[in-house]
Structure 1
């Protein structure tokens, strides 16, 4: 990487680190879970019958489980197989979860793998351009890139409205969301 390219990347990383610290503090305030659930159910309604991946919330993340519980289609949850690789997904029908890396809870290895058609994606922050700031591991960016290379997939971000920022630094590997749901709105791409 050239000196200018390395400098720009280091600056983007520093900005993202500062945004992560601020976003964690903002997310602690939370939001209206009932309103978030209504909005998420509305966003998922057109995807009835499709394989849906949610997540098991941690660290004050918005909880997608109520909407997942009424989804008319197969459910799966992500599994972190290792650092630097895409997530895998295991079919989930309410089985007990096992502790996973990075404080996650994930389905046991005994459950079958399945490819999701719709993903509910957690985050620390988002902007109106449907960009998200994750925890810094790149898991969802790598996963979305892989899934989009296989076929159509819809990525629905889930966040509290207090997690919104004016803009995020976007790198070449950052994957844009298709939709974003908060406790106050459903953001769609501008055409």
Structure 2
């Protein structure tokens, strides 16, 4: 299966699993509680992505939290400091980002995804932003990548490439998977 077909199938599974009102970040909060004060980057959920905001709000009480900002095609993401209640504006691809704030470098990155496997493989949206970003961050310092997804997004046959950065953990609404 090629990446395009894999994404189409994974989007359908994610849409079926999505419940915007369900409490789904409990296990993510538990994982992050073991890393209080460590610089963290989350993301602002779009469409049917599982929402990490409750866990990000808890983490922000203990240390810096940022969200990704797309700088340009083919470039790594940068992370702008985020705080609960800060003013957000639409960034590239419709992602909400803080209107202003300092840039920060995370040591933990909560990564959105389309599909994952139990070996730490991740299928993203196809732009390579997180792969480039994780590669750059990991070259500079140890950086943990936590995939956050619905259990239904698991796939046993992802079309991975050598440039795909692995996940260190996968957290779902049902538990934690260690590759």
Q: Work out the CA distance in 1 between the residues paired with 2:44 and 2:26.
A: 18
Q: Is the 8 A contact 1:53 1:76 kept in 2?
A: yes
1:30 and 2:17 matched: yes
1:77 and 2:67 matched: yes
Decide which of 143, 147, 152 is 1:162's aligned counterpart: 152
Q: Deviations over 1:139-190 (max 9, x none)?
A: 000000000001011110000011111121221110000100011120112x
Q: Is the 8 A contact 2:131 2:163 kept in 1?
A: yes
Shifted more, 25-34 versus 63-72: the winner is 25-34
1:118 and 2:108 matched: yes
The structure whose Rg is larger is 1
Deviation at residue 31 of structure 1 after TM alignment: 5.0
Shifted more, 70-79 versus 23-32: the winner is 23-32
Q: CA RMSD in A?
A: 1.3
Greater helix proportion: 1
State the match for 2:93 in structure 1.
102
Q: Deviations over 1:83-137 (max 9, x none)?
A: 00000001112321111111211123x3111101111100000011111100000
Q: Deviations over 1:31-62 (max 9, x none)?
A: 5742x311101111111110111100002100
Aligned residues: 174
1:132 and 2:132 matched: no
Structure 2: any 5+ residue segments left out of the alignment? none
Q: Work out the CA distance in 1 between the residues paired with 2:170 and 2:157.
A: 15
Q: Is the 8 A contact 2:18 2:48 kept in 1?
A: no
Extract structure 1 runs of 4+ deviating beyond 6 A: none
TM-score normalized by structure 1? 0.87
1:52 and 2:40 matched: yes
Q: Work out the CA distance in 2 between the residues paired with 1:137 and 1:165.
A: 20
TM-score normalized by structure 2? 0.93
State the match for 2:54 in structure 1.
66
Q: Work out the CA distance in 2 between the residues paired with 1:163 and 1:50.
A: 28
Structure 1: any 5+ residue segments left out of the alignment? 1-13
State the match for 1:5 in structure 2.
none
